[in-house]
Amino acid sequence: MIQANETTFRLDTANSTYLFRKTKYGHLEHIYYGTLLADFDDVDVLAQKRTIQVGSSVLYDESDSVYSLDSICLEWSDNGRGDYRQSPTELKMPDGSFVSDFIYVGYKIVENCVTMKTLPTAYGEAETLIVTLKDTTNELYVDLYYSVFAEANVITRRAVLRNETDVMITIRRMMSMALDLPDENFQMYTLDGGWIKEANIHKHPISYGIVTNSSTTGASSNRHNPAFLLAEANANEEYGNVYAFNLVYSGNHYSAVEKNERDYVRILMGINPHCFDWKLASKEQFETPECVMTYSNRGLNGMSHQFHNFINNNIVRGNWKKKERPILLNNWEAHFFDFNEHKLLQLAKQAKELGVELFVLDDGWFGERNTDKAGLGDYTVNTKKLPQGMKAFASKIKALGLDFGLWFEPEMVNSDSELYRAHPDYAVKLPSKQAVLGRNQFVLDLCQEEVRDYIVKQVGSILDEANISYVKWDMNRHIAEAFSTAIENQGEFYHRYIIGLYEVLERIFCPRPHILLESCSSGGNRFDLGMLCFSPQIWSSDDTDPIERLKIQAGLSYFYPLSTMGAHVSQSPHQQTLRDTPLATRFHVASFGCLGYELDLKYLSPEEKKDITEQIAFYKQYRNVFQYGKFSRMKTYKSNKVMWQCISEDRKTALTGLFQTLATAAESSDKLNVTGLEKGKYAVHTRPQRLYIERFGGLMKHVLPVELNPDGMILHVANRHYSLRDCIESYICSDNALRAGIPLCEQFIGTGYNEKIRMLGDFGSNLYIAEKINEED
């Protein structure tokens, strides 16, 4: 709910209040962001008290010794009038200076969200407050948009700059929002990494000075995801104040958290000012991306639950909103570029037998794309690989009872391609230099209308020709040498590229709403809310090693729901880490996401095929809980354990994964903790899982009546057809007992073996199902 008058503005969500007011000089003073206030709470009581002059400060008005912009919590601030913190704007004003002074001129409240011309926004039931500020000297206006998503406990903010002067001005920095909070000894959590190590969480103490989180690669990037949070000192997964922020944007982003000498913490978020320079002509306006904010006093999990709901309800849109995602098989790691129709159909047939629902043909099906050195840009079917074309091939996949999906990398071109030979000018490059390569490719210049039209036509015609229900949209290099022949001012390149990208995605996918779009950028190089406005799921990482995924998926889970994370079971030893992990663990980790498989099924043993068939059947049974249940990172008291949990919407079912990273000798016992269930009686059991006997080598002699050569043929053959069952536990208990924690059976420590010993070892895991039972039972 929004309550406003000419002086105070109060924005309430179900559990939070956001409050600011106009000062007597017309600046917007931030008063409060936190737990929901009472109706009678008064702004003067909550405001920072200004009762003394701060030394070494610049006064805004010489008659007012306590009013210095540097020591006020503000909603928006300027350069050059006494506030020395980072400003949300840097505008070259008509007089050539960088001094601005935006003060209040009015407000309005509108129902719903207000869409933008150039960028996607959150949508759904909301109220929007628009507060207009005007520069005291020039006809320049800033409209601050606040959309309140009450149920979701989310407030979004963005700013629009309007140039009503008669001259062009230059924008060197225009943030989406600025917010000043009193310090709580914050820790800032960011998601950082690179290729195959995306979204690892890092904590930064907020001390005096500035901590930034930004990208310069042209995308939201695998280096630093735009999302971050501020947690009060000592907050943990369950307790404490947490403020979280994200940006509906896929390009270069910038956030800064700055603590000043008055112990106020300024938060800025928006487009990265790095290499940014925008000419705003008279009567034009500049839209900034929407910043999404949430506050929780229930710790990190509480914050995550709010963002998860918000993304499922107010960011992801179209036919796939809240819809269960299909279990897919992607042929990339099975074949790379080396396939033909026979190989593909064999793979698809086996996938179908295991219960897979969607077959995805990855890179290599078009042009001369037989290595990553050629073919990008030419989306005509390679008839050596698919002799009867895409339509016929898609029909064959459909005839097997599978849906069909296709990979594209539409934003890129290889120099060895028909497209590049015909249109070298479509590539991003400087007129004066040989362009640098990344993964042997150039970026197509989406600032050019002709390039955008080409992509829309090429991709669109393949989608219409064949029966395609899923697209993987890849983007495999960072932008360099940003330059477009389509624009005069190259400081506009990065932002115009992203506006072009959104236009292309909208033109291709809005008319084809049945298609499930999974975006990808060498894995999670563009995992952001902007892409999620078009693609309901994103390939989280090229790294499918489950132990690495424990970090990657946990990192993403702070800000993004499991329904958005593509997660696949792949081969072991793993292609990037060489780590050998049990099939059960690969499945357990991938099931906390949108499950897929990505390996050559023909090499599976009969026992592994049975295993995967059971995994898929299990996942189908609980898919909704995994994808849309309430996900929490559970506390564990040991550093070699990770515990994740999903609770169904009706709170009657809990799925808990308990993962062991490295085994320790004589490991002490573990507990299964489950929180958030409805009151009542629960049946708890372990998901049955196979133990492959080859893993135990010579140790098998302890459980078999005969001695076997640990490297011998017999053990190898037996391993293909025979397995042991890991310890299955089952209990009846209350929700409270589960909350307190059920002690689990001991782990194997070398002193004996029986069916009540859990066999985890390095990288082992168990999955537990807790389901409510009728009291009469």
Question: Smallest distance, Å, CB 565 to ligand GLA?
Answer: 14
Q: Which is nearer to ligand GLA, 540 or 765 (CB)?
A: 540
Q: Which residues lie near ligand GLA (CB under 6 A)?
A: 332, 362-363, 407, 474, 476, 520, 522-523, 539, 542
| Least distance to ligand GLA, CB of residue 526, Å | 11
β-strand pairing of 403-408 with 470-473: parallel
> How far is the C-alpha of 220 from the C-alpha of 200, rounded, in Å?
15
The answer to whether 542 is a known catalytic residue is: yes
Would you say 362 or 445 has its CB closer to ligand GLA? 362
In angstroms, the CA 93 to CA 167 distance is 10
- What's the closest the beta carbon of residue 666 comes to ligand GLA, in angstroms? 41
Amino acid at residue number 272: N
Of 523 and 629, nearer to ligand GLA (C-beta) is 523
Q: Which is nearer to ligand GLA, 218 or 299 (CB)?
A: 218
DSSP calls for 630-685: EEEEE--SSTTEEEEEEE-TTS-EEEEEEEESS--TT----EE---SPPSSEEEEE
Minimum CB–partner distance for residue 658 and ligand GLA (Å): 29
Q: How far apart are CA 598 and CA 28, in angstroms?
A: 53
Q: Closer CB to ligand GLA, residue 520 or residue 684?
A: 520
Closer CB to ligand GLA, 218 or 657, in the complex: 218
Residue 404, both tokens: 């069909």
In the set 474, 543, 545, 726, the catalytic residue is: 474
Cβ-count burial 317-353 (b if 16+ within 10 Å, e if not): bbebeeeebbbbbbbbbbbebebebebbbebbbbbbe
Structure tokens at 664: 């320790």
CB of 412 to ligand GLA, least distance (A): 10
Burial 39-64, CB ≥16 within 10 A → b, else e: eeeebeeebbebeeeeeebeebeeee
Minimum CB distance to ligand GLA, residue 524 (Å): 9
Residue located via tokens 């002059």: 53
Could you tell me if 364 and 343 are in contact, meaning their C-beta atoms sit under 8 angstroms apart?
no
Q: How open is the CA angle 336-339-340, to the nearest 5 degrees?
A: 160
Rounded-to-integer distance, Cα 383 and Cα 387, Å? 4
Which residue lies nearer to ligand GLA by CB, 351 or 759?
A: 351
Give the span between the Cα atoms of 380 and 367, in whole angstroms. 6
Shortest distance in whole angstroms from residue 335 CB to ligand GLA: 11
Taking CB positions, which residue lies at the least distance from ligand GLA?
363
Q: Please, which residues have CB within 8 angstroms of residue 585's CB and are 6 or more apart in sequence? A: 546, 547, 659, 763, 764, 765
Closest CA to 463 of 385, 515, 501, 411: 515
CB 129 to ligand GLA: min, Å:
41
Q: Which is nearer to ligand GLA, 521 or 627 (CB)?
A: 521
User: What is the rounded CA–CA span in Å between residue 573 and residue 580?
Assistant: 4
Nearest to ligand GLA of 601, 642 (CB atom): 601
| 711 counts as catalytic | no
Please report, for residues 73, 382, 448, 469, the alpha-carbon distance to residue 388 in angstroms, rounded to integers and kept in the order given. 66, 10, 34, 20
Give the closest residue to 696 by CA, choosing from 705, 713, 708. 708
Candidate list 83, 528, 542, 543, residue with the active-site label: 542
Q: Please, what is the minimum distance in Å from the beta carbon of residue 601 to ligand GLA?
A: 18
Vertex 58: Cα angle to 52 and 60 (nearest 5): 85
d(CA 261, CA 616): 57
Residue showing tokens 């106009």? 22
Which residues belong to the active site? 474, 542
